[in-house]
Each structure stands twice: as structure tokens, then as C-alpha cells.
Structure 1
Amino acid sequence: MSAIQPQTPQQFYAEFFASRAARNGEVIRRKASDVDRFVGTEAFLAEMKRRGFRVYRNAGQFVVFCNREPVQRLV
């Protein structure tokens, strides 16, 4: 995220989806506490589901695969 924190959920989503990684269908990581504070976890997960993105949570982080490709666990 940028140094300036979003003030509204719309700003959070605008920054998230305007990122190079999101535009290129890559992976984005965000602190779960930030997501909850700025947009709410339920709303965030609903938006990711609506877009067909996969979201994983580990060690207080959300890892978002910004594409609809299958994810393989290798180890």
C-alpha cells in the first residue's frame, strides 16, 4: 500500500485494483488487520469472490491471486 492510507473503502479498492500486480493478474499481499480496518474482512472476501480471485490467509496476511488460474500447492 502507499504511504497515504485510504480514508474510504472505495479508496482502498481503487488502490488495490490499480496496482500493477492486480492489473497483470499477479499476487498481492495485504495485512489482514489493514483489510479489516479499511473495508472489513467479509466485504473484502465478497469482492474477491465476485472477481473470481483466490485468497489465502497466513500469519496475519491475506495473499490474493489476482487471476482465475488454478493454484497448486507443491510442498
Structure 2
Amino acid sequence: MNEKKINQFISHQLVKAREDLGYTQMKVQQDKIINQSNLSKIENGVKNIAAAKLFVLANYYKKPIEYFFENGK
């Protein structure tokens, strides 16, 4: 899997994890996790996510970090 596909998969998993909790991008911003504009860019593949921010979001979404790298987990 190349870097572009990995980033697309991570972006997809971020959206899925957020929506599974019923959270909007604005809720994530209101909880002071990440700016809505940056989250939108990351979720849409316009911007790559830093490892530290992915870790923060994984904890916030109550997902193990592996969730963002493994299909179906």
C-alpha cells in the first residue's frame, strides 16, 4: 500500500470513528480537540495528519490507534 492509499484509509477511518459516536466536526472543535477547518482538510485528504494529533483523536474517539491502520478493526 502506498502513502497516498494509507492516508486515504486513515482519513476514511477518522470520519467513520467520528460518525460512529454521532459527533460533528463542530463538536470536535467545541471540545477543543482540533479546529474544524483542519479536521475537514484531514478527513477530505487535503492535509495529512500528524502522528501526535492522530493519537489525540484516537483517544477522543475511544479507538485503539490500530483502528486507523487495519481494515475492519
* TM-score normalised according to structure 1 size: 0.28
TM-score normalised by length of structure 2: 0.28
Give the number of the structure whose alpha-carbon radius of gyration is greater. Answer: 1
- Of Structure 1 and Structure 2, the greater strand share is in 1
